[in-house]
Copies of this chain bind each other. A is one copy, B any other.
Amino acid sequence: MNTCSPDVGTPIVSGAVSSGEATKPEPVELEKGARIREFRKKFKIADIKAGPDQGLNRLGENLVVRGWVRTLRVQSSVTFIEVNDGSCLSNMQCVISSDAEGYDQVESGLISTGASVWVQGTIVTSQGSKQKVELKVDKLVTVGTSDPSFPIQKKRVSREFLRTKAHLRPRTNTFGAVSRVRNALAYATHKFFQENGFVWLSSPIITASDCEGAGEQFCVTTLVPTSREATDSPVNAIPRTKDGLIDWSQCAMCCQAAPVMVPTPQPKTVPHLDLHNAFGSDIYLHDFFGKPAFLTVSGQLNGETYATALTDVYTFGPTFRAENSNTSRHLAEFWMIEPELAFADLEDDMACATAYLQYVVEYILENCKEDMDFFNTWIEKGIIARLSDVVEKRFVQLSYTDAVELLLKAKTAFEFPVAWGCDLQSEHERYITEVVFGGCPVIIRDYPKDIKAFYMRQNDDGKTVAAMDMLVPRVGELIGGSQREERLEYLEQRLDDMKLNKESYWWYLDLRRYGSVPHAGFGLGFERLVQFATGIDNIRDAIPFPRAPGSAEF
């Protein structure tokens, strides 16, 4: 049963509205600033409690709060309703006495944890120690009741359990705070790059380019039926060549399925032949893209094409790995930030990565104080001090060769033996960041070329490449970057050495044929940054709807 507040839904646009007969409303000139006033900013709890006064500057104001009931506490003469609207961690404590309008809804049990309410009242000084102000209620309206089965009651519930309630978990303190800090980190990311003249680039998600190779990829196809028919789909419906291979040139969708409805701009079926003809009669169609297509694992190569035209660019978008890594550090779908800088070398790259990380961390320390205090108390003790250190200190830089020497001298017994040329394992990275440098971020540079990707620039020693990894405590590798090989002959040699198909890299090699420039960039997994900045242990709690093996609900 839901009852709806009469105040929710008052029209606020006074322009022409339907009159029931065909009138012709005229566009009228807006007086300056009118449109800003007209877009009502709802008064949120953060608007009331934010700022150094924590609401004391609003004493005596009569206003409306809208939100969800966290708890309800009945005392002798008054009832305390804690209302949260997600705009901040704090609830608004609403104090209602029996003479207030709508008090009957408290008595009748209509209002319970999870219900949504509309509350009008006056801001007064709070007697409690947890807040400076509270709302003395004049009028209470239940907007939507909450079924007693509401799974997030006051008692603590585990984060594992909450993962099965991903649609409700943002209503908890922890996930509300993670959502806000995640949002602030994303916005700070855009601010940092925009303020430094970078252009945001949307790199493609679906790619038929087979030159990524940075990890296992998901196949994207219309060869199997879309949506609801997928579970009743016979294997034999998949087109095959006479050798029994999947025939990507066949068009399951337009040749084998029913005609396709195109809903906009005007609904009509597209005749198969028209579609085929559009590509010329000598080209067979086709899985949707006419060949196998996959979800991107990185936007870097695409980013390089724009960096070598616009100088400095960055991507911020989802990337995918079809790896069976069912760990607390891996997601099948995650967001990546990948800046690419032209006329830049590894030093510029490290300077950019450092400045970026310091900027976004400082941003949340300044703009998410309440949420950060919450993490500091409940999620990771001391996280604020740890993050402040990141902002204030110079990051340590050392070469891979020096790092290996430090590890060889270590008194610690490692599970994986260390030798020059081996990839560093997380136990090694932890030893360096946590034991050697006491929790400071560390940048390791100049890795052996044989353990790094083909596109990294070869150093003059012939053995190492201009690569760098930034390691941070708790999370390990947060950033990985490199200067890119801008010399055509070196890059082609590297492709040959690694038995990669040069033809499929034609456009990437073109960047070295036409005005090649030294350039560099890095990649940062956004959810790892969220973990680093909030202290959240499991990466599945750092993204709203995590995707992992066997898990793509919601």
Contact = CB atoms under 8 A, between A and B. Distances in A.
A202 B12 contact: no
A227 interface: yes
Number of copies: 2
Nearest to A247: B235
Contacts of A279: 550
Contacts of A516: 2, 116, 143-144
Interface string A256-295: 0000101111110010000100110001011011111111
Interface in A21-53: 21-30, 34-36, 38-42, 44, 46-47
A220 B228 CA distance: 14
B436 A554 contact: no
Contact of A202 (B224, B240, B290, B544): B544
Given A167-B507, A398-B18, A515-B114, A180 B206 contact: no
A292 B231 contact: yes
Contacts of A46: 197
A128 interface: no
A511 interface: yes
Contacts of A265: 329, 425-426, 429, 476
Interface string A424-465: 011101000000111010000110000000000000000000
B323 A260 contact: yes
A553 interface: yes
Contacts of A324: 253-254, 260, 262, 270, 275
Interface string A281-321: 00101101111111100000010011011111000011010
A115 interface: yes
Interface stretch (A62-70, A99-107, A155-163): A62-70
27 contacts: A2-B516, A13-B347, A18-B446, A25-B396, A27-B389, A30-B394, A40-B348, A42-B311, A42-B343, A87-B311, A143-B516, A146-B514, A168-B510, A204-B545, A204-B552, A204-B554, A205-B205, A216-B222, A219-B222, A220-B295, A227-B294, A235-B246, A275-B549, A278-B326, A283-B550, A302-B544, A302-B545
